[in-house]
C-alpha cells in the first residue's frame, strides 16, 4: 500500500466526508430524513462501485442506512468511521461452491477466515454459495453442501456469526446455479441443523425464478437470515417501472419477526444513483 503522511490522511478523510455530505444534501436537502427504522437497511457496495466508499458511506449514514456490505476487510475502517457495519461479508466465489467435494478445502478455508475476521470486527454474517450443477444431481449437491457446512458451522456458533447461502436465479443471471429454489435451500438449512446457518433470500432472484414471494417468505421464515432487493425485471431501481410491491414485502418480512438486515442490491440506471438509493430506502421503510 502507498504510504501517506498523517496530514495527507486527515486532509483526504475530511475531503471524503465533505463530498459525502454534499452528495447526501443534494439528495434530500438540509434536513436529514427520519426513518421508522423497523427495517434495518443495508446496501451492496458493488452496485455503487464507481463512487468512492468514503463518499458512499457518508451519504448512507445520512440516509439512515446502517450497513454497506460485501466490502473488503481493508476498507472496514471506512465504514466504522461513519458508524456503519458490514452486514454481509465475502468468502468464496459463486460458481466454485460447496456442492463439490473437490472445492471444500478452498471454500472452507475462505469461510473460516471470513468468520474470524467478521467476528473480530463485530459484524453479523458471512456469505457462501452452492456452486453450479454441471450435471450434478440436486440431492447429491445438497448432501455435499451439508457435509461442508457441518465442518465450519461450529466455528460460526462459537463466534456468533451466521453463514448465509445466497439464493440466486438460474433462469436469467446465474445459469446452472444449484441453490436456485427456496425449498432446496430450506432443506439444506434443516439438514445442517444450526441457527448459525441460514439463507440469503434475494427477492429479485426468487421473483425471477419462482415468484410467490410473500407466501414463500412466510413459509420459510425460520430459514432466512438476510434479504436482498432489486427491481424486476432488469435488477434496477425499486420504482413504479417494476412489478414488485416492496412496501407490502417489507411488511410481510416484519410480520415474520425478522430482525436482521435488508440490503438494497439494485443497479442504478441513468438517474442520480443516490436519489435512486434514497427512494428505495423510503419505500422499504414501513
The model's pLDDT over 146-167, given as tens digits with 9 standing for 90+, comes to 999 999 999 999 999 999 999 9
241 domain residue, yes or no: yes
Evaluate whether residue 4 is within a structural domain: no
Task: Give domain status of residue 120, yes or no.
Answer: yes
Question: What are the tens digits of pLDDT across the range 111-144?
Answer: 999 999 999 999 999 999 999 999 999 999 999 9
Q: Residue 163's closest CA among 213, 110, 96?
A: 110
Residue 34 has a pLDDT of: 82
* Residue 23 belongs to a domain: no
pLDDT digits (tens, 9 = 90+) for 186-233: 999 999 999 999 999 999 999 999 999 999 999 999 999 999 999 999
CATH of the domain at 243: 3.20.20.150
- Considering only residues 25 and 262, tell me which one the structure prediction assigns the higher pLDDT: 262
Residue 16 lies in a domain: no
Residue 20: inside a domain: no
The alpha carbon dihedral of 166, 172, 178, 184 has a sign of: positive
User: Which domain does 252 fall in, by range?
Assistant: 38-284
First to last CA, the chain: 43
Question: Using CB atoms within 10 A of its CB, is residue 198 exposed (0-12), middle (13-18) or buried (19+)?
Answer: buried
| 99: Cα within 13 Å, side-chain hemisphere | 27
Q: What is the mean pLDDT of residues 258-271?
A: 94
In this prediction, residue 244 has a pLDDT band, given cuts at 50, 70 and 90, of very high
- Res 33: pLDDT: 60
Q: Which residues contact 106 (CB under 8 A, 6 or more apart)?
A: 92, 96
Interatomic CA distance for residues 180 and 206, integer angstroms: 8
Asked if residue 167 is part of any domain, the answer here is: yes
- Over residues 33-66, the pLDDT tens digits come to 689 999 999 999 999 999 999 999 999 999 999 9
255 falls within a domain? yes
Domain count, the chain: 1
Cα–Cα distance measured from residue 185 to residue 130, given in angstroms and rounded to the nearest whole number = 9
What is the C-alpha to C-alpha distance for residues 232 and 219, in angstroms, rounded to an integer? 22
Query: At residue 70, does pLDDT exceed 50?
Result: yes
209 close to 169: Cβ distance less than 8 angstroms: yes
Residue 282 has pLDDT above 90, yes or no: yes
13-22, 247-256, 263-272: which has the highest mean pLDDT? 247-256
Amino acid at each position: 500500500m502507498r504510504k501517506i503522511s498523517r496530514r495527507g490522511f486527515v486532509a483526504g478523510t475530511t475531503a471524503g466526508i465533505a463530498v459525502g455530505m454534499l452528495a447526501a444534501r443534494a439528495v434530500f436537502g438540509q434536513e436529514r430524513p427520519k426513518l421508522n427504522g423497523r427495517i434495518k437497511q443495508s446496501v451492496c457496495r458493488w452496485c455503487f462501485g464507481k463512487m468512492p466508499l468514503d463518499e458512499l458511506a457518508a451519504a448512507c449514514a445520512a440516509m439512515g442506512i446502517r450497513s454497506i456490505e460485501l466490502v473488503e476487510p481493508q476498507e472496514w475502517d471506512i465504514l466504522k468511521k461513519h458508524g456503519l457495519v458490514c452486514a454481509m461479508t465475502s468468502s468464496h466465489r459463486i460458481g466454485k461452491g460447496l456442492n463439490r467435494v473437490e472445492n471444500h478445502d478452498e471454500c472452507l478455508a475462505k469461510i473460516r477466515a471470513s468468520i474470524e475476521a467478521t467476528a473480530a470486527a463485530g459484524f453479523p454474517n458471512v456469505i457462501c454459495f452452492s456452486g453450479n450443477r454441471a450435471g450434478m444431481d440436486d440431492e447429491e449437491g445438497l448432501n455435499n453442501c451439508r457435509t461442508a457446512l457441518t465442518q465450519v458451522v461450529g466455528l460460526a456458533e462459537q463466534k456468533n456469526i451466521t453463514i448465509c447461502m445466497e439464493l440466486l436465479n438460474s433462469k436469467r443471471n446465474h445459469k446452472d446455479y444449484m441453490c436456485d429454489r427456496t425449498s432446496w435451500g430450506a432443506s439444506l438449512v434443516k439438514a445442517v441443523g444450526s441457527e448459525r446457518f441460514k439463507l440469503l433470500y434475494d427477492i429479485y432472484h426468487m421473483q425471477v425464478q419462482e415468484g410467490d414471494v410473500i407466501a414463500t417468505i412466510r413459509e420459510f421464515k425460520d430459514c432466512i437470515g438476510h434479504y436482498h432487493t432489486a427491481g424486476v425485471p432488469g435488477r434496477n431501481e425499486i420504482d413504479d417501472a417494476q412489478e414488485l410491491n416492496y412496501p407490502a414485502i417489507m411488511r410481510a418480512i416484519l410480520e415474520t419477526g425478522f430482525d436482521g438486515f435488508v440490503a438494497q442490491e439494485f443497479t442504478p440506471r441513468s438517474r442520480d444513483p443516490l436519489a435512486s438509493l434514497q427512494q428505495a430506502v423510503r419505500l422499504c421503510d414501513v
